[in-house]
Amino acid sequence: MTKSFNKDFKELLAAAVVQPTESQSGDRPQALSAYLGWLQETLLDGMAFDSQVFANPREGEPPILVAMRVEGADLSTVLVYGHGDVVLGMDERWRAGLSPWALTEEGDRWYGRGAADNKGQHLVNIFALRKVLNAKGKLGFNVTLLIEMAEERGSPGLAEFCAQNKERLQADVLIASDGPRLEAARPTVFLGARGALNFDLVVDLREGVHHSGNWGGLLKDPTIRLSHALASIAGSKGELLIADWRPSSFTPEIRELLKSCKLPTEMSGIEIDQDWGEADMTPEEQVFGWNSFAVLAMESGTPSAPVNAIPGRAAAHCQLRFVVGTDGTRILPALREHLDQGGFNDVEIVGYEGEIFHATRSDPSSDWVQMAVKSIKATTGKDPAILPNLGGSLPNEIFTDILQIPTVWIPHSYPGCSQHAPDEHNLLSILEEGVEVMMGVWGEIE
């Protein structure tokens, strides 16, 4: 398939990458809408999909595409999801000879913004559907395709849209692709996603700064106060010290499932710190079965031009990634109780209303999961990795909780793809194998 795949799929992906669908910049509304029109015209109309672009329920947010191909009322219906928006291009930071808005081939690597996240991945799934249709004249099941254009900003409006269109979007299963494989050469299935909650911790003691010679020892240092507060949340190796932040779902079954899922010792050229996190957990258990706390940014004074003065304010932007078995409604209240008990009443918690991805996880023993695993092994000859959830976060709770359908995710990328960084790329070998994998999966559905 390589020669025809290189030509046909490369042309398709190149036409997708060239569209600057940045949702985070706020100034690309035409590109976001145009991408959906391009999908309709280029692919869906020729596959007998009934497609429609809907206004986002939230004013000012980008539209949402729903395309349906119905072959029979008595057949299974599969919901296929993807997002056509991308993170900021970061044009000036790409290596010489590369551009975020042009597909560039270098050996096995295809560079371009969206090649991995998520244009390349949902195009693999649609391309495989088209190949099955061309070969058989039918799919043998019904398909509903849902493409949004704001996932990189937390999918605003998607939950409301799905709640308002439950009947239209009703399906037996979601089969979709996002995130990376466990490793490049090993097909992977994951069953949900970790949740994510971002918040700020702020110590705001006074206006202005004060000379450290005249006032040192007399004024509380907000940075020291904040540092000690952070140290009370996680230990020196990142272990969680708040009871409510330690999930109840790390069962022997999950531990057994993860035994066969080995991360490479290095990812993206960075060696994994084997001694980080909970003392009795493997790296795989830490990222796929447990919660992790991170300080993403911290500021006190003026770091680029420090002066001999005690600042009045210090702040840290923090995040908790969490799995099923963690009560999302208790994350910040439990933090408040913990800080108060430790005497950190001067540490303010600033949450971000609505900015939370909830944790999800489908049953690994379900018929849909087992079908996908069996099909992937038959196609590739490889035992796919089965992960209880992605280490990152997705709007998967919309499908599991609002639409109430099981989810099976089959990623077509790898950990070193630089998906939110300069020089984003995907591997030709993964994209090609991904089409073969999805043709096999589509062929198993009745």
CA torsion angle 324 325 329 333 (round to 10): -130
**Rounded distance between C-alpha atoms, residue 438 and residue 128, angstroms:** 6
Average pLDDT over residues 168-173: 98
Please report the DSSP string for 20-85 in residue order: --BSSSS--HHHHHHHHHHHIIIIIGGGT-EEEEE--SSTTSPPEEEEEE---TTS-EEEEEEE--
Please report the DSSP string for 105-169 in residue order: EETTEEESTTSSSSHHHHHHHHHHHHHHHHHHS--SSEEEEEEES-GGGT-TTHHHHHHHTHHHH
Average pLDDT over residues 281-300: 96
**Residue 133, φ and ψ in degrees, nearest 5:** -60, -45
**What digits encode the pLDDT tens for the residues 44-73?**
999 999 999 999 999 999 999 999 999 999
CB atoms inside a 10 Å sphere around CB 299: 13
pLDDT at 200: 97
Q: What pTM was estimated for this model as a whole?
A: 0.91
pLDDT at 157: 96
Tell me, what DSSP letter sits at residue 398? I
**Rounded distance between C-alpha atoms, residue 229 and residue 202, angstroms:** 10
Phi-psi sector, 195: left (phi>0), alpha (psi -120 to 50), beta? beta
Question: Please, which residues have CB within 8 angstroms of residue 352's CB and are 6 or more apart in sequence?
Answer: 198, 199
Identify whether the C-beta of residue 50 lies closer than 8 Å to the C-beta of residue 67.
Answer: yes
**What digits encode the pLDDT tens for the residues 364-404?**
999 999 999 999 999 999 999 999 999 998 999 999 999 99
Tell me, what DSSP letter sits at residue 400? I
**Residue 323, φ and ψ in degrees, nearest 5:** -100, 170
**What digits encode the pLDDT tens for the residues 273-282?**
999 999 999 9
When pLDDT is cut at 50, 70 and 90, the band that residue 27 belongs to is confident
> CA 204 → CA 213, 219, 242, 316, 317, distances in Å?
21, 13, 24, 12, 14
Which residue in 440, 418, 417 sits closest to 429, CA to CA? 417
Terminal-to-terminal C-alpha distance of the chain: 25
In Å, how far from its chain's centre is CA 391? 8
**What digits encode the pLDDT tens for the residues 313-353?**
999 999 999 999 999 999 999 999 999 999 999 999 999 76
Kindly list the structural domains of the chain, giving each domain's residue range(s) and its CATH number in brackets, ordered by start.
2-193+359-444 (3.40.630.10), 195-250+290-357 (3.30.70.360)
Using the CB atoms, write b or e for 372-383: b if 16+ within 10 Å: bbebbeebbeee
Tell me the average pLDDT of the chain. 95
CA torsion angle 30 31 37 42 (round to 10): 150
Residue 2 has pLDDT above 80, yes or no: no
The structure tokens listed for 252 are: 């022997």
